[in-house]
Structure 1
Amino acid sequence: MIRFAPLPQPMTATGAPRRVGVEIELGGLDEAHVARLCADTLGGHAVQEDSHIWTVHDTCIGTLEIYLDIFLRKVTKTKLRDLALDIGREVVPVEIVTQPLDMDGLVRLDGLNAVLRKAGALGSRAGWAFGFGVHLNVQIASDSDADILRPLLAYALIEDWLRAAHPIDDSRRLLPFTDPYPTEFVRALIGLGPDGTAHAAMVLYLHHTPTRNRGLDMLPIFAHFWPERIAQAISDKTSARPTFHFRLPDCLIDDPDWSIAQEWQRWVLVERVAADAALLERLSREWLDDHGLLTLIRSGWAERCGTILRAAGLDFTGLPG
C-alpha cells in the first residue's frame, strides 16, 4: 500500500497537525448501502436523515456524511423530488464526506476503498458521464500571505504538467468541474509574485476565474477571510473554510491498483514546489518565456515544466511512497 507522503509543513502555526477533509464520489452503490459499509468497516452507526441522506456517527475517523450529490437533495422532500433523485442516480454520484482527518485517519479511510470496490463501487472509467473525483480539503499551514499565495502560485505554474503527467480520466475532462486556470490568470499571478498578498490574489482570482469549477478551488479560503466580497461576486454558495479545495484528483475506486494516497501525492508535490523559492522563481521565469504574449497550446509548457521539476528532483516517482 502506498503511504501518505508528509507535507513539507505538516504542522499549523499553532503546532497542531494539519488536517484534510476528503470527499469521495462514486457510483454503483446507493447511499444506504454505502452508509452500512462505512459503519461495518470503520465502526459507528448509520442514521438515515432523509430519503437520500445518511450520517454515520462515531466511526474511528469521526462523523461521515453520505448522500446523493445533487442540489435536489436540499429541496423540500416530496414524492416528485424523490422520483427525480432516483432517476438521476444513473449519472449522479454518491458522495462520502469526512471530517478533517490527520494522517492516520487518511490511512483508515483509504482502507475503506477495498470494501467499497468489492461491493461494486464504480469510478470515473465505468461510464462516459460519470466524471467522479476525490476532493481534498487541505488545511492551510497558517493565515500568512505566503502560506496561501505560494501554494496557489505553485499549482498554477505546474497544473499543465500535473494534467499531462498523471492525466485525469476522459470523462472528467469533458465536464466543466475541474477546468484549468486561464492563461491570463497565471500570468497575473506571476506578476504578483510569491511575496504578494492573499488579498491581491483574491482580487485577481475574482477578475480572471470567478468560478468554483477549477482543479484548485480557492474560493473557500477567500470566503473565509473576505466573506462579504465573495458573496457579492459569486452566485454559487461557497462554504467558507481555511482549506485548499483540491478538486483535480480522480476517483478510480473500482481499480484495485488505485488509492487516495496516490491522488494525495499530487498535492504534496504542489506544496513541495511552493516551499522552494528558487524553483518558484525559475518556473515563473520560464513560464513567461514559454508563453510570450499569446499561447494557445499548453502541451509545450507541460513538457518543459516536467523537465524543470525532474532536474529539481521532484516528480511523482520521486515522492516518498
Structure 2
Amino acid sequence: MSNFLEPKVTKNYKDEIRHIGFELEFANIEIEDVLSILEKKFGFNIKKVNNYLFKIDSKYGDFILELDFELLTQQKIPKNIKELSKKIGIEIKEEDIENIEKIIGELSKDIVPYEISTPPLPLNEVSIIHKIIKELAKNHAKGTKYKIYYAFGLHINIEVISLDVKSLLSYTRAYLILQNYINKDAKIDLARKITPFIDNFKDEYIKYVLDKSYNPSIDEFIEDYLKFNPTRNRSLDLLPILTFINEDKVRAKLPEEKIKPRPAFHYRLSNSMIGKEGWEISEEWNRWILVENLANDKESLNFLAKEYLTHLDNIINLSTWEGKVESWLNH
C-alpha cells in the first residue's frame, strides 16, 4: 500500500477486501493534458461524454474526469439557451450556442476545479491514485492554497466493515471524538472552512451519540442522524451509507438532496494539496486510520467518549480537547 497505512479490519461487510474511492479537485492544467496522462502513462481508455465530462475505462472500473460545474457537465447551457430562444422568438444557431458554452468554460476554468473520481479501488491497490497525482503534479496541476480562492477538496469514500448499527455507531463515535483534532492536524484551509460543505458535527449531536445509554436500532440511528444532520454538508457524510441501508427513509426526509447510495463513509474534510512539495495523498488517508483504529478499540472508545462528554460539560477547561486527544495518541 506504499505509504498508506492499513486499517485494522481489511475485509468488508461481505467478507471481501475493502474498497476505497477518491475524489480529487485541482486546477492549473488543461483537461487535454490530464486525459493524455491517463491514456499514455496508465493505459486507460478515454470515453468522451461531452467537452467537460469524460469516463475513463480501466481495469479497476471507470474513473470520471469532469469540470466540476453542473451547467457544463450536464449541458444545461445549450438547453437553457434553446428554451430562451423559443420564448423570445429569436433563432440562435447551434454554432453560436457552442461558442457561448466554450466561453463560459474558459472563463470558469480558473475558479472551478477539475475533479477526478476513482472507481472503488481494492485496499491493496490504492497506490494507483498516488501515482496519478504524482504525474498531474509534474504537469503543474495545483490544489488548495495555490491561490487564495482555491478551496479544493479531497473526498475519500471508505467501504464499511459491517452494516450492523453497532459498527456504524462505533465509527460515528470515533469520528465525533477525533474530528477537532483531525481538523487541526490537517490544517484545513480557511477558504474551505468558511464554506458550509465540511461543517463539523454540532455539540448537541455529539452529546446525544456519545452518551453511554445511547443504544439505537438501525432505524433509530438513521432517524436521529437525519434529525440532527439533515444535510450532506458534514465533514463526515453518513447519508450515502444510510441511504444504502434504507433509501426510502432517507429520501422521505431529504427529497431534494443529491445522495448516491453506497456502502461507504463519505469523508469530505481533507484539502486537495496536489502540487505542494512533499505532500502525498496517503497523509490524508492516514488521518482516517485514526478513526479506524479508535472505532475498533472498544476500551479506548468508551474511555474517550466519557472524557469528551466531561470536557463538553465543563464551563472551564485547562486544556483544549485537541490537546487531550494528542496526548492520548502519544501515550
TM-score (norm. length: structure 2): 0.86
Residues 1:10 and 1:261: Cα distance change in structure 2 (over 3 Å) = same
Matching of residue 268 in structure 1 with residue 289 in structure 2: yes
2:53 counterpart residue number: 53
Q: Percent identity?
A: 25
Q: Which runs of 5+ in 1 are unaligned?
A: 312-321
1:17-53, CA deviations, whole angstroms, 9 ceiling, x for partnerless residues?
0001111111112333212211222212222211201
Tell whether the 8 Å contact from 2:20 to 2:120 is kept in structure 1 after alignment. Answer: yes
Question: Do residues 237 (structure 1) and 236 (structure 2) align?
Answer: no
In the TM superposition, what whole-angstrom CA distance separates every residue of 1:166-208 from its partner, at most 9, and x where no partner exists?
A: 3212222122211111111111111266754343232222111
Work out the CA distance in 2 between the residues paired with 1:39 and 1:208. Answer: 44
Provide the rounded CA distance (Å) in 2 between the counterparts of 1:238 and 1:280: 29
Pairing of 1:99-114 with structure 2 (within 5 A):
99-114=119-134
Q: Any conservation in 1 of the 2:208–2:214 contact (CA below 8 Å)?
A: no
Ranges in structure 2 where 5+ consecutive residues have no aligned partner: 79-96
Query: Does the C-alpha gap of structure 1 residues 106 and 31 become closer, same or farther in structure 2, counting only changes over 3 Å?
Result: same
Deviations 1:100-136 (A, max 9, x none): 0013431122111121011110110112221111111
1:227 aligns with 2:226: no
For residue 208 of structure 2, what is the aligned residue in structure 1?
A: 188
Counterparts of 1:36 and 1:245, CA distance in 2: 29
The answer as to 2:21 corresponding to 1:16 is no
Deviation beyond 4 Å, 4+ runs, structure 1: 192-195
Q: Does 1:125 align with 2:124?
A: no
Change in Cα spacing, 1:16 to 1:2, as seen in structure 2 (3 Å) is closer
SS at match of 1:153: helix
Distance 2:313 2:42 in 1: 52
Equivalent position to 1:291, from 281, 301, 312: 312
> TM-score normalised to the size of structure 1?
0.89
- Alpha carbons of 1:83 and 1:201: their partners in 2 closer, same or farther (altered >3 Å)? farther
Quick check: which has more Rg, 1 or 2? Answer: 2
Greater mean deviation of Cα atoms: 167-176 or 157-166:
167-176
Letter of the 1:229 counterpart:
K
- CA RMSD in angstroms comes to 2.2
Task: Give the conservation status (yes or no) of the 8 Å contact 1:146–1:194.
Answer: no
Tell me: CA distance 1:231–1:75, structure 2 relative to 1, closer, same or farther (3 Å).
Answer: farther
- Structure 1 Cα separation of the partners of residues 59 and 175 of structure 2: 32
Find the residue that maps to 1:171 and give its secondary structure: helix
Q: Does 1:249 align with 2:236?
A: no
Partner of 1:36: 36
Report the equivalent of 1:150: 170
Q: Distance in 1 between matches of 2:216 and 2:230?
A: 20
1:75: Cα distance to partner? 4.1
The separation in 1 between residues aligned to 2:118 and 2:192, in whole angstroms, is 22
Q: Shift in Å at residue 259 of structure 1?
A: 1.2
Aligned-partner residue type, residue 269 of structure 1 = L
> Aligned to 2:322, what secondary structure does the other structure show?
helix
Q: Take 1:274 and 1:249, find their aligned partners in 2: how far apart are those partners? A: 20
Q: How many residues align?
A: 308
**What's the secondary structure of 1:178's corresponding residue?**
coil
